[in-house]
Structure 1
Amino acid sequence: MDYVLITLGVLFIISGILGGILPVLPGPPLSYVGLILLHLTERYQFSTNFLIVWGVITIVVYLLDYLIPIWGTKKFGGSKRGVWGSIIGLLVGMLLFPPFGIIVGPFLGAVLGELSSGKQSREAFRSGFGSFLGFLVGTLLKLIVSGMMAWYFFAKMV
């Protein structure tokens, strides 16, 4: 049974790393499931504190991945309409054009929101760029967290 759990764990860890790059996969949650599967074996155990800490990190990173593009929009001068445009663009992009809609949706939503509030094209695109930059930061964060969980997974087996 351990071999099945380890094999599934490896698949979840790999999927988690891919999820750091591909917006359609929830990277850190998949990696966390990989850690749990390894923990369920008889040979390899993690402490309860370790699993709780990584569970919290997983939840925080998962939420930040959706909030950072909104913050980027605000940081680059976006108004409330730009922020709401980014949120709506994220939702529409996720539902209608996965996986690329998660990248393009917040950008276009922020730009359209700013244009609807009367801002010039340059300011609107700056807000959209902030949203895109936020997406890149979220992606990097997911890759780091999933990569660290992969390291713990494989280090435990050595």
Structure 2
Amino acid sequence: MHRNFLQPRGFASCLVGVDYLVWSLTVSLLLIGLIGCIVPLLPGTTFILIGAVLHKLLLPDSMGWSVVAWVSALWFLSIVADFIGVMIGAKLFGGGKWGMTGATGGAFVGMFFSLPALLLGTFLGAVVAEKYGAKRTDRESLKAGVGATVGFFISTAARLFCAVAMIALIIAAATDWFSAMPTP
């Protein structure tokens, strides 16, 4: 009897196939996450976080839990940026609590339709809330609406920055890029 009789012959090729499958799943989630940072109703950075966790669970030696912790911290930062960006934008342009609340409500309604509806909802929500809730002038209301829209763009940029940083961290760790760098 051959001495390697008990070892499965196709085991190594099976692992390579599983690796490809896991990498395909990971890259798909990372790309969907990146797209989701712009497209309404797709929780972009959440998909990226799920991709990192699944990659770690399915290929445990590919990266450490510290990478998942850093990705989680960036995910949390992107969520905070999402909520605060619009409110800060409205506030910086002279909007009050009504404008911030209206912008958030308008963005919430608009996100169910499209990206332009999301932008329009943010703007109109702040304008209508400032005009009729806070009894402000047309000029003040429009200024708050512009501020809310600027805040939306700032929060989108922050979310995209977090997403790109998350993806770079995952790929660098999972492909062992850090160990390939020369040491001083």
Q: Using CA pairs under 8 Å that are at least 6 residues apart, name the structure with larger relative contact order, 1 or 2.
A: 1
Give the 5 Å matches for 1:109-148.
109-116=125-132, 117-148=134-165
Q: Matches of 1:136 and 1:23 in 2, distance apart?
A: 13
Partner of 2:119: 103
Matches within 5 A, 1:1-158: 1-42=18-59, 44-95=61-112, 97-116=113-132, 117-155=134-172, 156-157=174-175
Unpaired runs of 5+ in structure 2?
1-17, 178-184
Which structure has the greater CA radius of gyration? Answer: 2
- Amino acid of the residue matched to residue 145 of structure 1? C
Q: Normalized per residue, which structure has more helix? A: 1
Structure 1: where are the runs of 5+ without partners? none
1:62-97 Cα deviation digits (max 9, x unpaired): 2321221012111211122212211221222234x3
State whether residues 85 and 113 of structure 1, in contact with CA within 8 Å, keep that contact through their aligned partners in structure 2. yes
Partner Cα distance (1:153, 1:49) in 2 = 11
- Measured after TM superposition, the shift of residue 42 of structure 1 is 3.3
Query: C-alpha separation between the residues in 2 aligned to 1:42 and 1:77?
Result: 51
CA distance in 2, matches of 1:102, 1:67: 16
Structure 2 counterpart of 1:121, which letter?
D
RMSD: 2.0
Q: Give me the whole-angstrom Cα distance separating, in 2, the residues matched to 1:46 and 1:140.
A: 27
TM-score, length of structure 2 as denominator length: 0.76
AA matched with 2:66: N
Tell me the matched-pair count: 157
TM-score when normalising by structure 1: 0.87
- Is contact 1:24–1:99 with CA below 8 Å preserved after alignment? no
Q: How far does the alpha carbon of each residue in 1:49-69 deviate from its partner, in whole angstroms, 9 at most, with x for none?
A: 221232132023123212210
Of all paired residues, the percent bearing the same amino acid is 29
CA contact 1:38–1:44 (8 Å) conserved in 2: no
What letter is aligned with 1:80?
K
